[in-house]
Structure 1
Amino acid sequence: MTAGCLALAMSTGAEEGAVDPELAQAAVRFNQERRDLIEANLQLTPDEAARFWPLYERYQRATGVLIERRRASIAEFGENYDDMSEAEAKKFMRDRIELTEQRFHLMKQYYPEFERALPAKKLARYYQIESKIYFSVEAGIAEEIPLVK
């Protein structure tokens, strides 16, 4: 399952708080693969790893809140797709813009802490990896979500 399809499935498959166990397992695998990818590409020293991984976990929890909000926004989009009002369309777009702004705010907020944890080149590489993952997921979601009628 691609990252985008996984994110979309989790977004639309979680009705009334119920999460499909298969999708939950896929999310665990995705998060582990993300961590493995980062670990393989950063090649941290033991000191860097001791500083980086706890910060990474905090950052991932913070971005998880945004991911849940994106999931809810996409689920609401799906519920309203056939009969979407102008107000619902405006809300959908405002939510998407706000989530994008909050993602960049988190990146900026955590940057000084990551800067203390990693040398500049490794930090740049980490942010590149995060961006590639994010945009890959977004592309998959965009491919799956139909245009507003």
Structure 2
Amino acid sequence: MAHPMTPLAQRHDAGQAWLADCSPRPDLVRAQWEREELAAIPSGGHWLVAETTVAHGLPALARIREDQRGPVLGDAIQDRAWWLMPLDAAEELADVRQVQVRPAGWSLACPPLGAYRESRFWLWHPDGSGHLTDPAVLAAAFGPGGYVRPTEARP
């Protein structure tokens, strides 16, 4: 995860570069963004996609500490939120009924960071570090009590 004191513009540039580089053709992603289009980035190379509704995803996002959040893309019209998750997320999230993990090779249509394109926008930007939300943290955030770190657990 990028250091919190790293200037915002630098984190933005690093996050956008990282996201484009997650595609097998980063040059095509950048060209689509320059034309103000969404760019389809396939999952499976660097991350999987966990899909939820925005109505369920926003409360879960609020329950996760900032330093534990990975990138989350939202779509206001489709009422969808997509979490970029580690490649082993499917098993951990299999029993979370509000979350559907998309298989490797499923493409996510992404706008560039800081842009609103075709009703899509980043709820939580990639920071360039490759940091993703831990699936156990996301699963717990969808539970009734939210996620409690083991050191905060009450006896």
TM norm. shorter chain > 0.5: no
Structure having the higher strand fraction is 2
Structure having the higher helix fraction is 1
Larger radius of gyration: 1
| Larger RCO (CA within 8 A; separation ≥ 6) | 1
